[in-house]
């Protein structure tokens, strides 16, 4: 019996925020399915974020390279100059074509002063919006500019962009997850994604949104380890009874980025274990 075709064969994928969590898990899956991948984001081995892309100092790229062609750059994903250079370098690495941007990079904001409206600080608001909303805008703009110059591929597409929202935007949880700026930034990303999907469908460029629930990633360590939240998730995310995994999101990202989903744009795919349809107060 012949082996099944790999789902991302020949596709060139840039994952901004690909050095850990959902982005790293997605890089593995994309490579396993035949993609050529560049990951970019903060490097734990570098004390300060780079203002220009530099090679990742960790062994993450070497580990991924065992699965397929992979490059990696360290940078601050909210810096427009760094992103401009990144897209040039990534496109060159790919041989001149970018098929997929998966924009994952973001922060929670609590350490910066995010919280409920009456407690959220000016600096907390500014930092979260800068990284999450502005960072997504900058990366999406670079991708659109690159993809508009490309010819459609064998699936009829010039490119695909996938952004990441949050379950807190459509389904808030104010007592345990009362982060005003974070939720606002993710709502902005959803609006930007839909607007771009509407404008660029005629150009054969897709824009979709992945909306995770609470996922066990480095950014969510505080929440995942909180006993109150673990108890809350038993009913709030009943499909798992706890946090989801980065691999759960990677499988959904693979679907939205592969050519087989070429007729899907403007979609909001919730990967939340039932969060949005559950009360979270236990079984009556």
Model confidence at 284, pLDDT cuts 50, 70, 90, reads very low
pLDDT above 80: residue 48: no
Question: pLDDT grade, residue 117 (50/70/90)?
Answer: very high
Q: Distance between CA 242 and CA 256 in Å, rounded?
A: 25
49 falls in which pLDDT band (50, 70, 90)?
low
Are 222 and 282 in contact by the 8 Å Cβ rule? The answer is: no
Compute how many other C-beta atoms are within 10 angstroms of the C-beta atom of residue 256: 20
Mean pLDDT across the stretch 78-102?
A: 94
Give whole-number Cα distances, 256 to 101, 102, 140, 164, 277, in Å: 11, 10, 16, 12, 22
Q: How confident is the model at residue 3 (pLDDT cuts 50, 70, 90)?
A: confident
What is the enclosing helix (H) or strand (E) of 87?
helix 80-93
Average pLDDT, the chain: 93
Looking at residues 144-172, what average pLDDT do you find? 97
Question: What CA–CA distance (Å, rounded) separates 127 from 116?
Answer: 15
Domain boundaries, the chain: 12-272
**Two structure tokens written together for 49:** 């974020």
Which of the four pLDDT bands, split at 50, 70 and 90, describes residue 2? Answer: low
Say whether 18 sits in a helix, a strand or coil.
Answer: coil
Compute the average pLDDT of residues 29-50: 83
Banded pLDDT at 78 (limits 50, 70, 90)? confident
Positions annotated as catalytic residues are 182
Whole-model pTM?
0.94
The predicted structure's pLDDT at residue 55: 74
In the chain, the percentage of residues whose pLDDT exceeds 90 is 82
Q: Is pLDDT larger for residue 57 or for residue 195?
A: 195
Beta bridge partners of 38: 14, 71
- Residue 129's pLDDT band (cuts 50, 70, 90): very high
Residue 283 confidence (pLDDT)? 46
From the list 148, 104, 279, 266, the residue with the least C-alpha distance to 196 is 266
In 213-273, at which residue ranges do the beta strands (DSSP E only) sit?
268-271
Confidence of residue 280 (pLDDT cuts 50, 70, 90): confident
CATH code assigned to 12-272: 3.40.50.720
pLDDT at position 282 over 90: no
């Amino acid at each position: 019996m012949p082996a099944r075709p790999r789902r991302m064969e020949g596709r060139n994928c840039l994952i901004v925020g690909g050095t850990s969590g959902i982005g790293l898990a997605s890089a593995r899956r994309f490579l396993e399915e035949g993609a050529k991948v560049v990951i970019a984001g903060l490097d734990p081995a570098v004390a300060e974020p780079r203002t220009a892309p530099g090679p990742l100092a960790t062994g993450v790229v070497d580990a991924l390279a065992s699965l397929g062609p992979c490059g990696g750059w360290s940078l601050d994903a909210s810096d427009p100059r760094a992103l401009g250079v990144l897209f040039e370098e990534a496109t060159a690495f790919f041989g001149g074509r970018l098929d997929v941007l998966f924009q994952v990079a973001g922060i929670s904001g609590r350490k910066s002063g995010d919280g409920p409206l009456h407690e959220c600080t000016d600096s907390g608001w500014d930092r979260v919006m800068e990284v999450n909303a502005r960072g997504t805008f900058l990366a999406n703009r670079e991708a659109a500019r690159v993809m508009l110059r490309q010819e459609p591929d064998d699936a009829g597409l010039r490119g695909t962009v996938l952004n990441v929202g949050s379950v807190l935007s459509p389904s808030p949880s104010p007592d345990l997850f009362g982060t005003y700026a974070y939720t606002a930034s993710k709502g902005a990303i959803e609006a930007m994604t839909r607007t771009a999907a509407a404008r660029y469908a005629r150009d054969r460029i897709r824009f979709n949104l992945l909306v995770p629930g609470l996922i066990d990633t480095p950014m969510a360590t505080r929440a995942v380890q909180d006993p109150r939240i673990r108890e809350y998730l038993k009913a709030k995310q009943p499909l798992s009874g706890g946090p989801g995994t980065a691999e759960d999101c990677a499988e959904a990202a693979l679907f939205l980025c592969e050519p087989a989903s070429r007729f899907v744009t403007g979609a909001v795919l919730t990967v939340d274990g039932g969060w949005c349809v559950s009360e979270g107060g236990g079984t009556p």
